[in-house]
Amino acid sequence: MSLSRKDVLHVAALARLHVTDAEQEALAQELSRILAYAAQLNTLDLVASLAGVEVTSHMSVSSMVTRPDAPGESLPPEVVMANAPDAEEQQFRVPAVLEG
């Protein structure tokens, strides 16, 4: 499986990244190699080598974990706002957004 420059541009746009022409070519090759590496898994005979192992979306945690619905402490608002580049009246101030 290999990625085209178009794929790279699409992924870059989704990640809000600007990539130069040179980077596009380099990334297309690099990402293709990573995909090829992972694709080796497809050559395994899953039925024979992993008999009895169910396919899952999660690797390590097998049992469900929940917490009781009991309120705890939230952060003091001044701590919440501490890293805000811009703030006003205890709210984060951001460039105007039109959607929503």
Partner 1 sequence: MTALETVIGLEVHVELGTKTKIFCSCAVEFGAPPNSHVCPVCLGSPGALPVLNEQALALGIRAALALNCSVPAQSKFDRKNYFYPDSPKAYQISQYDEPIGQHGFIEIAVGGEKKRIGITRVHLEEDAGKLNHSPYGDVSFVDLNRVGIPLIEIVSEPDIRSAEEARLYLEEIRSIMQYCLVSECRMEEGSLRCDANISLRPVGQREFGTKTEIKNMNSFRNVQRGLEYEQERQTGILARGENIAQQTLRWDEATGTTLVMRSKEDAHDYRYFPDPDLPRIVLSAAYIDARRDEIPELPAQMRERFEREYGLPAYDAGVLTASRGLAEYFDQTAQRVRDPKSASNWIMGELLAYLKAAMLEIDEIHVTPFALADLIRLIEDGTISAKIAKTLLKDMLDSGKDAKTLIAEQGLIQISDEGELRAIALRVLAANPKTVDDYRAGKEKALGSLVGQMMKETRGKANPQIVNRVILELIAGGE
Residues that bind partner 1 (CB under 8 A): 10, 14, 16, 56-59, 61-75, 77, 80-81, 88-100
Contact 2, 37 (CB under 8 A): no
For partner 1, give the closer residue by CB, 52 or 76.
76
Both tokens of residue 74? 């939230």
Instruction: Give CA separation, 4 vs 1, 8, 25, 32, 92, in Å.
Output: 10, 6, 8, 9, 39
Q: How far is the CB of 81 from partner 1 (least distance, A)?
A: 7
Smallest gap from residue 30 Cβ to partner 1 (A): 19
The CB-of-20 to partner 1 minimum distance in angstroms stands at: 21
